[in-house]
Amino acid sequence: MYKRLSAILFPVATILLIGAVVWGYQENQEKNAILIKAENQYQRAFHDLSYHVDKLHSELGNTLAVHSASTDSHRKGLVNVWRITSEAQNEINQLPLTLLPFNKTEELLSRISKFSYQTAVRDLTKDPLSDGEMKNLKELYKSSGQISKDLQAVQNKVIANRLRWMDVETALASNREPKDNTIIDGFKTVDKKVGEYPELDWGPSVSSMYNKRSVKKLSGTPVTVDKIKADAAKFTGDGNHAGIKVIENGKGTEWASFTAQIPGKQGDYKTLDFTRNGGHLIAYADNRTIGPKRVGGNEARAQAEQFLRDKGFPDLTPVSYDEFDNIGTFTFVGKQGDTLIYPEKVTVRVGLDSGQVTGMQASDYVYERENRKTPEKPKLSLEQARKKLNGDYKEKYHRLAQIENDMSEKVTTYEFGGSINGSNYKIFINAQTGAEEMIEEIRNAKKANQATRS
């Protein structure tokens, strides 16, 4: 009996063993193939980064080499600088450097990109490169040369010693101090040197992009935890202050704020974010489960508008609508006279199962309201601005709007809504100069128009 059983089980066990070995071999091969592919991608991104930083150094040199009055060459050179810098930024994003302090180099490249783009798009025949900007270019030429030299030194070591980027990723992910990793040490050295470069005057338009708004700059005296609890309870209609938990964020920094958390039924909860100065509400979220859609865009809009009026945000105009995963998201903006103030933005999320508001983001509204710039009166008439549109553009509506352009300037524009080539757009024409400041495609235009129609 045992002989018969062995005669049956032995071949079966042998087959299973062979199958396990084959499966394990295939799994190992697939794993190795994935690792090789990832390593090749990292190597390509790194070597491309080294190449583009060297190319950036050369292009800055070319831009400086031409005559100071050669505006066409300056524009061409700056466009190339912007393109090359963008490529370098993209390659940095492909490397496993999220846990590695390389932020100073990334920020420098970002500033170069913004500076070169904003300088290239302006009319250099009327507003040529200033002495300060030429000085910046000379400093950037010098700095980019040093960065290129340091990266090439790391590159030479990588090639000579056949170093692997997968080892870098493993070292960073393991949260241990990789003291002997040549690549990591090389990037740290580069970033440290970049941090020691002299500070440049990038001009107000570029600098404003990096001067993040601080809650400390808001008016009003600091509020207490008890005040936050009372305001949170009033906003949500929850009279039980004792159940509200308040967390202080960024204590002692320019980002000091409070988060109030209100527990609900079945594990649901609501959160509200307040600024420390003045106790301004900047965000609200009702983290409940959203059911099947039963409410249309018009009803959701009415609920959103009523919610804003009840919560102390009157006289806002809906300008856009988006729908995803049974949640309708409306964007409302402020208004001064006949001009919409786009920087003063509030977004409201409505659950399309019941029409109840599930969230609000009002930080832009709170910050911009205190720093409102009165819209300039248009120099161009509506008809003069309309002539700047493409002849095939089919206008559906027009209105005055203040926006923030690519130069971080608040400008008064004529907003034209319409369609061309089968797609719907908003086109913003500068009411002073006639320049096209911004073009925005409208997705799901029919649904958005119905939901935001005044």
For 346, other C-beta atoms within 10 Å of its C-beta total 22
Who wins on pLDDT, 296 or 29?
296
- Which residues make Cβ contacts (< 8 Å) with residue 398, sequence separation at least 6? 382, 386, 414, 415, 416, 417
The rounded mean pLDDT for the chain is: 81
Q: Whole-prediction pTM value?
A: 0.66
CATH of domain 382-452: 3.10.450
List the structure tokens of 69: 């009055």
Mean pLDDT confidence for 230-255 = 79
31-39, Cβ contacts within 8 angstroms, sequence gap of 24 or more: 35/166, 38/166, 39/164, 39/165, 39/166
Rounded Cα distance, 251 and 258, in Å: 9
How much is the pLDDT for 187?
Answer: 78
Q: Would you say residue 451 has pLDDT above 70?
A: no
The Cβ of residue 411 has, within 10 Å, a number of other Cβ atoms equal to 21
Distance CA 335, CA 379 (A): 20
Q: What is the 3-state secondary structure (H, E, C) of 203-221?
A: CHHHHHHHCCCCHHHCCCC
**Distance between CA atoms of residues 340 and 345, nearest Å:** 10
Residue 427 parent element (H or E): strand 423-430
pLDDT digits (tens, 9 = 90+) for 349-374: 999 999 999 999 998 898 888 778 88
- Cα(157)–Cα(145) distance, rounded to whole angstroms? 19
Choose the weakest-confidence range: 219-228, 253-262, 327-336, 392-401.
253-262
Residue 318 confidence (pLDDT) above 70: yes
Mean pLDDT over 141-150 rounds to 88
Contact criterion met (CB below 8 Å) for 432 and 446: no
Give the separation between CA 45 and CA 57, rounded to whole angstroms: 18
Taking the C-alpha atoms of residue 55 and residue 75, their distance in angstroms, rounded to an integer, is 17
Quick one: average pLDDT of 197-224? Answer: 63
Alpha carbons within 13 angstroms on the beta-carbon side of residue 263 total: 8
pLDDT of residue 325: 86
Residue 178: the pLDDT is: 46
What number of CA atoms fall less than 13 Å from residue 50's CA on the CB side? 19
pLDDT tens, 55-89?
A: 989 989 888 888 777 888 888 888 898 899 888 88
CB-based contact 352:346 (threshold 8 Å): no
CA nearest neighbour of 215 among 280, 301, 128, 289: 280
Q: What is the pLDDT of residue 115?
A: 84
Show the CA angle centred on residue 331, arms to residues 328 and 333, nearest 5°.
Answer: 155
pLDDT score of 210: 47
| The residue type at 448 | A
Q: Using CB atoms within 10 Å of the CB of residue 391, give its burial: 0 to 12 exposed, 13 to 18 middle, 19+ buried.
A: exposed
